[in-house]
A and B are shown apart, each in its own frame.
Chain A
Amino acid sequence: DVKVTQSSRYLVKRTGEKVFLECVQDMDHENMFWYRQDPGLGLRLIYFSYDVKMKEKGDIPEGYSVSREKKERFSLILESASTNQTSMYLCASSITWTGIGYTFGSGTRLTVV
Chain B
Amino acid sequence: QQPVQSPQAVILREGEDAVINCSSSKALYSVHWYRQKHGEAPVFLMILLKGGEQKGHEKISASFNEKKQQSSLYLTASQLSYSGTYFCGTEPEFTGTASKLTFGTGTRLQVTL
Residues on A lying within 8 angstroms of B by beta carbon are 4, 30-31, 33, 35, 40-45, 48-50, 56, 58-59, 90, 94, 96, 98-107
Instruction: Report the bound CA distance from A94 to B44 in whole Å.
Output: 11
Instruction: Report the bound CA distance from A93 to B53 in whole Å.
Output: 25
Docked-complex contact B49 and A50, CB < 8 angstroms: no
With A40-B105, A42-B87, A42-B103 as given contacts, are A98 and B41 in contact (CB-CB < 8 Å)? Answer: no
Within 8 A of A (CB), among B40-69: 40-47, 49
Docked-complex contact B105 and A50, CB < 8 angstroms: no
Instruction: Report the bound CA distance from A105 to B32 in whole Å.
Output: 17
User: A31 CB to closest chain B CB, in angstroms?
Assistant: 4
Instruction: Report the bound CA distance from A105 to B36 in whole Å.
Output: 12
- Residues on B with C-beta less than 8 A from A30 are 97-98
Residues on B lying within 8 angstroms of A by beta carbon are 2, 29-30, 32, 34, 40-47, 49, 87, 89, 91, 94, 96-106
- Residues on B with C-beta less than 8 A from A59 are 102
With A35-B103, A45-B100 as given contacts, are A98 and B34 in contact (CB-CB < 8 Å)? Answer: no
User: Could you give 21 example pairs across A and B, Cβ below 8 Å?
Assistant: A30-B97, A31-B98, A41-B105, A43-B42, A44-B2, A49-B98, A50-B97, A58-B100, A59-B102, A94-B99, A98-B49, A98-B94, A98-B99, A99-B49, A101-B47, A102-B34, A102-B42, A104-B43, A105-B41, A106-B41, A107-B41
Q: Which residue of B lies closest to A42 (CB)?
A: B105
- Residues on B with C-beta less than 8 A from A40 are 105
- Residues on A with C-beta less than 8 A from B104 are 42
Q: A49-B98, A96-B97, A101-B46 known; 10 other A-B pairs, CB under 8 Å?
A: A30-B98, A31-B98, A31-B99, A43-B89, A44-B2, A45-B102, A48-B98, A50-B97, A56-B100, A102-B42
Q: Which residue of B lies closest to A101 (CB)?
A: B44
Docked-complex contact A102 and B98, CB < 8 angstroms: no
Instruction: Report the bound CA distance from A34 to B13 in whole Å.
Output: 35
With A42-B106, A90-B41 as given contacts, are A48 and B47 in contact (CB-CB < 8 Å)? Answer: no
- Residues on A with C-beta less than 8 A from B49 are 98-99
